[in-house]
């Protein structure tokens, strides 16, 4: 059984200009189920840097909602360009299950090739750590510290307004609205 008021966090980054910006806004929205917003967290991550995993771990572990959080949603496994999140490490250091939500089945070989091209092949291990891409309804997920059946139950509760979890939809809207002055597009 998953409670309707399960406390979760959805994390997404804002848009940025890769030629101008050094850091990117990362926003976390804490919700009870898919309806009530409890709080908003934020951090900054370096464009194409290596700090996303640690920044997100720190953002979550120091927040007052930490003891109640039952699930972390990510919108893909990277923020700020190729600042890739090691979801196994994120799960281990926060002790909270991680569900990565992706709209389209990603071309992982292509991403690995790009990382080699931009001289960041050390990040390929994070992509491997993210594990198998699985389909749930119309979205794709990668999981750490949670099985597919439990993930499916949580998604059923938090996807209140669209295909993707409401805390991710809001994190996207907020990060875009703050970074650019007006939110556009979708998570």
How far, in Å, CA of 65 to CA of 104, rounded? 31
How far, in Å, CA of 112 to CA of 134, rounded? 19
Does residue 4 belong to the site contacting a copy of itself (CB under 8 A)?
A: no
Does residue 69 belong to the site contacting a copy of itself (CB under 8 A)?
A: no
Shortest distance (Å) from residue 157 CB to a copy of itself: 16
Q: State which residue, 98 or 170, has the beta carbon closest to a copy of itself.
A: 170
Query: Which range, of 40-48, 94-102, 114-122, 142-150, touches a copy of itself by CB under 8 A?
Result: 40-48
- Complete DSSP assignment for 103-119: SS---HHHHHHHHHHTT
From the list 153, 140, 149, the residue with the least C-alpha distance to 6 is 153
Query: Which range, of 32-40, 46-54, 101-109, 124-132, touches a copy of itself by CB under 8 A?
Result: 32-40
CA distances from 77 to 1, 9, 37, 53, 137 (A): 28, 15, 23, 10, 20
Chain positions contacting a copy of itself, by CB under 8 A? 25, 27, 35-37, 39-43, 59, 62-64, 161, 170, 173-174, 176-178, 181-184
């Amino acid at each position: 059984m998953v409670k309707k008021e399960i406390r979760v966090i959805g994390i997404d980054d804002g848009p940025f200009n890769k030629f101008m910006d050094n850091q990117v806004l990362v926003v976390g929205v804490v919700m009870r189920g898919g309806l009530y917003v409890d709080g908003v967290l934020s951090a900054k991550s370096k464009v194409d840097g290596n700090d996303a995993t640690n920044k997100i771990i720190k953002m979550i572990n120091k927040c007052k909602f930490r003891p109640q959080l039952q699930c972390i949603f990510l919108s893909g496994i990277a923020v700020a360009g190729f600042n890739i999140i090691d979801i196994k490490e994120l799960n281990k250091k926060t002790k909270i299950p991680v569900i990565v939500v992706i709209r389209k089945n990603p071309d992982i070989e292509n991403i690995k090739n790009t990382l080699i091209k931009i001289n960041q092949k050390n990040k390929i291990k994070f992509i491997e750590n993210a594990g198998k891409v699985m389909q749930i309804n119309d979205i794709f997920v990668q999981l750490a510290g949670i099985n597919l059946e439990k993930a499916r139950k949580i998604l059923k509760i938090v996807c209140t307004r669209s295909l993707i979890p409401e805390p991710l939809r809001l994190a996207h809207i907020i990060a875009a609205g703050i970074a650019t002055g007006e939110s556009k597009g979708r998570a």
